[in-house]
Amino acid sequence: MKSLYAIKKFMGFSAESQDKDILFEDIEIDSRKCKANDVFLARCGSNHNGLDYIDDVIAKGVSLILIDPKANRKEAKKLLENKDVKYFFLTATRSIGRFASWFYGEPSTKLRLIGVTGTNGKSTVAYLVATMLNALNYKCAIFGTLGFGFPGELEQSSNTTLDVVYLNRYLDRYVQKGADHAVLEVSSIGVDQGRIDHLTFSVGAFTNLTRDHLDYHKTMEAYKEAKAAFLRRLNTQKIVINTDDPTGLEFASQKEGCTCYGIDSMTQVSALNGRRCISCEHLSFKDDCFNVSIKTSYGMLENQNVHLLGRFNVSNYLCAVGILQTLKITLKEIGQASAAIRPVTGRMECFSQKGKPRIIVDYAHTPDGVESALRAARNHCENGKIICVLGCGGDRDKGKRPMMAIKSSVFADRVIFTMDNPRSEDPKSIIDDMLRGVSLASNVSVVLDRKEAIAKAFALADENDCVLIAGKGHEDYQILKNKTIHFSDREQACALLGLSCD
């Protein structure tokens, strides 16, 4: 809560003593949610202009409006000149991020904030870090694709990385609830749009870079630059990088003092002086877990049974180990905390029932993600077939559709193409884009209705086979052209196996 007096001082204006009695509880960017004691931030977004809702918020009793630095000042002044409301223009130096952080008491400095960026693996790494810290009696909140809050009681989030206003608000809320750590999925779009501006990070990690979000960034170079921009915010000794990834190896070569992790890349990393290293000494896969022994710059972590599936989750686990080591958690404590790890909701989440095919639900929605998920399924299903159910999202990068289709056809025994979240696009048109990549393939079929596609894949599978349902993971909705309906791949899997779905 801040007074008008304090806000005026922050903005560089003189204030009167009576301004101390005028208090504001929150900053709000959604006019529909405004209350009389809120500061309304009139954002200039790609789809909406907050200035269009000035009359609505004034009618709700709002008495102070902050205006986006991108707004046209002349038009804004004309709009507000006869309104009974105070207003200030934010600037490059008194920015949205800086104001939000100040308003909520600089919450990112009151805990240890961990940022994880990369195309794939952010959600899993965030979950692993939070789970392991909480197992060691710390109190770690998560902010990301799965939602925000403490594990087991997450609130839904509209974006991978929340708007900087809401992010500061909820960081402050969880500080008040006793959080001493928070782990944040840092998306490239979030970086580009200023959603992490003026946050203080204790550790930052980079998982990988593969094709995604080109509908927004346009080029891979611009996409990579957004990831690099996040890492530049941190002291190099606080950075953890996957050097199995070519971009990661490039970043590591520029970051003396960083921690490098990898399954295959330690020969290359050894040529880089001044880097801490984390690597696998032993790795084997079992039905429901992998067993790994890890060599680090601080000693060995041996014979860990980690209840996750797939090689790429070994990489995610190494990342989490690197983050915890950077936080000065001992190897003994990391080993103890690893016992608490369980599969992440909708991330290589396995459902099984004796005598029936295994079903895996995963969020894979990029070409690399599809390949990694199918390879992971193969690691744990050596004696059976892999049947994949796959769709591509509408209103997103069309160029990756045939690439995802190729990956599924190559790495699965059979593939059924279906709807994902078509959004405003014709689902058949999306499928056509996918089919262009596999015109010569003989293991591909199409069932447009997702529920029917999943049921068909299950019917085709034998007891030793595995059905991988890719693309939607944890989501319990499907976005169609004119409506959003309830739909959960996890619920469909459980229904086919006769299991209850939590």
Task: Tell me if 149 sits within 8 A of 174, measured CB to CB.
Answer: yes
pLDDT: which is higher, 183 or 155? 183
Lateral strand order in the sheet of 147-149:
147-149, 140-144, 181-185, 112-117, 203-206, 239-242, 259-262, 276-285, 290-296, 299-306
How wide is the angle at C-alpha 466 spanned by C-alphas 500 and 393, nearest 5°?
80
Residues in the chain: 502
CB neighbour class for 4 (10 Å; exposed up to 12, middle 13-18, buried from 19):
buried
Is 139 known as a binding-site position? Answer: no
Is 484 known as a binding-site position? Answer: no
With pLDDT > 70 as the criterion, what percentage of the chain qualifies? Answer: 99
How wide is the angle at C-alpha 39 spanned by C-alphas 98 and 105, nearest 5°?
40
Whole-number Å distance between alpha carbons of 157 and 327: 27
With pLDDT > 90 as the criterion, what percentage of the chain qualifies? Answer: 85
| pTM, two decimal places | 0.86
Is 268 known as a binding-site position? Answer: no
User: What single string gives the DSSP state of each residue in 355-369?
Assistant: TS-EEEEE---SHHH
How many other C-beta atoms lie within 10 A of the C-beta of residue 499?
Answer: 16
The whole-number pLDDT of residue 271 equals: 63
Q: What is the 3-state secondary structure (H, E, C) of 171-185?
A: HHHHHHCCCCEEEEE
For residue 76, the surrounding DSSP H or E stretch is: helix 73-80
Is 93 known as a binding-site position? Answer: no
User: What is the per-residue pLDDT across 445-459, written as a single tens digit (0 to 9) for each?
Assistant: 999 999 999 999 999
At position 365, the amino acid (one-letter code) is H
Is 420 known as a binding-site position? Answer: yes
Q: Is the pLDDT of residue 268 over 80?
A: no
Q: Is the pLDDT of residue 258 over 70?
A: yes
Average pLDDT over residues 189-208: 95
CB neighbour class for 291 (10 Å; exposed up to 12, middle 13-18, buried from 19):
middle
Task: Give phi and psi for 384, each to the nearest 5.
Answer: -135, 180
For residue 378, the surrounding DSSP H or E stretch is: helix 367-379
Per-domain residue ranges for the chain?
2-94, 105-339, 349-497
User: What single string gives the DSSP state of each residue in 401-428?
Assistant: HHHHHHHHHHHSSEEEE--S--TTS-HH
Fold of 349-497: Protein-Tyrosine Phosphatase; Chain A (3.90.190)
Task: Give phi and psi for 86, each to the nearest 5.
Answer: -90, 150
**Predicted confidence band of residue 39 (pLDDT cuts 50, 70, 90):** very high
Is 193 known as a binding-site position? Answer: yes
The whole-number pLDDT of residue 382 equals: 81
User: What is the per-residue pLDDT across 2-20, written as a single tens digit (0 to 9) for each?
Assistant: 999 999 999 999 999 999 9
The whole-number pLDDT of residue 213 equals: 80
Is 371 known as a binding-site position? Answer: no
Is 204 known as a binding-site position? Answer: no
In the block, tokens 């998560």 appear at 142
Is 355 known as a binding-site position? Answer: no
**Predicted confidence band of residue 47 (pLDDT cuts 50, 70, 90):** confident
Is 50 known as a binding-site position? Answer: no
Q: Is the pLDDT of residue 357 over 70?
A: yes
User: What is the per-residue pLDDT across 53-89, written as a single tens digit (0 to 9) for each?
Assistant: 999 999 999 999 999 998 989 999 999 988 989 999 9
Lowest mean pLDDT among 119-128, 157-166, 471-480: 157-166
Lowest mean pLDDT among 105-114, 145-154, 492-501: 145-154
Is 267 known as a binding-site position? Answer: no
Is 408 known as a binding-site position? Answer: no
Is 117 known as a binding-site position? Answer: no
2-94 — its CATH code? 3.40.1390.10
Average pLDDT over residues 226-250: 95
At position 68, the amino acid (one-letter code) is D
**Predicted confidence band of residue 267 (pLDDT cuts 50, 70, 90):** low
Of 137, 124, 135, whose CA–CA distance to 180 is shortest? 137
Q: Is the pLDDT of residue 285 over 70?
A: yes
For residue 141, the surrounding DSSP H or E stretch is: strand 140-144
Is 195 known as a binding-site position? Answer: yes
How many other C-beta atoms lie within 10 A of the C-beta of residue 259?
Answer: 28
Average pLDDT over residues 138-149: 94
Task: Tell me if 385 sits within 8 A of 457, measured CB to CB.
Answer: no
User: What is the per-residue pLDDT across 384-405, written as a single tens digit (0 to 9) for each?
Assistant: 999 999 999 999 999 999 999 9
Is 134 known as a binding-site position? Answer: no
Contacts of 260 (CB under 8 A, 6+ apart): 241, 243, 252, 266, 269, 272, 275, 276, 277, 278
The whole-number pLDDT of residue 458 equals: 98
The whole-number pLDDT of residue 274 equals: 79
Whole-number Å distance between alpha carbons of 419 and 480: 10
Coil, helix or strand for 442? coil
Average pLDDT over residues 145-156: 89
Whole-number Å distance between alpha carbons of 344 and 61: 43
Is 69 known as a binding-site position? Answer: no
As a whole number, the mean pLDDT across the chain is 94
- Which CATH number does the domain 105-339 belong to among 2.160.20.10, 3.40.1190.10, 3.30.70.20, 3.40.50.300? 3.40.1190.10
Whole-number Å distance between alpha carbons of 52 and 283: 58
Is 123 known as a binding-site position? Answer: yes
The whole-number pLDDT of residue 162 equals: 86
